[in-house]
Structure formats: structure tokens, C-alpha cells
Amino acid sequence: MNTDSTTYRQRQILLFATGAVMLTDPFLSIFRTDEMIAGVPVLVVALFSIWALLIVGVAWLMERGGPDPLRTPPPTDDYTG
């Protein structure tokens, strides 16, 4: 694997892992209070904020682009066939 595809893959895994951790019950229990933000419970605001941030993260990752799967690798000089 070249470094572009490795970096892209690592970013995908990091985004998934971050989202998975942020949507677990232990993390969300931080936001379980009786407090309200503009009449909306803090937990609901936190859930929608995390969801929106994950969408922005995926959009950013897709816009940056990863390796082109249709690009052929450069020829190597060590072909012995």
C-alpha cells in the first residue's frame, strides 16, 4: 500500500472509532442532566451535534479524496516474467 491509501484508510478508521465512542452510553451519560438549551434537553443537543460533526467529518474526508482505485501503479523495473 502506498502512503496515500494508508493515510486515507487510517483517517476512515479514526473517524469510525471516534463516532463509535462518542455514541456509546458511557460517553453520552455525561450529557444526562436536567439542564435545557433553548428548551431542548442537553442530551438531545449532544446527540444531534455529534451526528452533525460525524457528517461533516465524512464529507471532509470524501472531499479530500483518497487514492484513485482506477489508477494503475507505476511500472517497476524488477519484473522478471
Q: Please report whether residue 78 resides in a domain.
A: no
Helical H runs in the chain? Answer: 3-22, 25-28, 42-64
Q: Please report whether residue 12 resides in a domain.
A: yes
Domain tally, the chain:
1
pTM of the model as a whole: 0.70
Asked if residue 50 has pLDDT above 80, the reply is: yes
Q: Please report whether residue 34 resides in a domain.
A: yes
Q: Please report whether residue 38 resides in a domain.
A: yes
Range of the domain at 53: 3-64
Q: Please report whether residue 10 resides in a domain.
A: yes
Q: Please report whether residue 19 resides in a domain.
A: yes
pLDDT at 66: 67
**Chain-centre distance for alpha carbon 14:** 6
Q: Please report whether residue 39 resides in a domain.
A: yes
In whole angstroms, what is the distance from residue 34 CA to residue 56 CA?
28
Asked if residue 3 has pLDDT above 80, the reply is: no
Residues 8-40 have pLDDT tens digits of 889 999 999 999 999 999 999 999 999 999 999
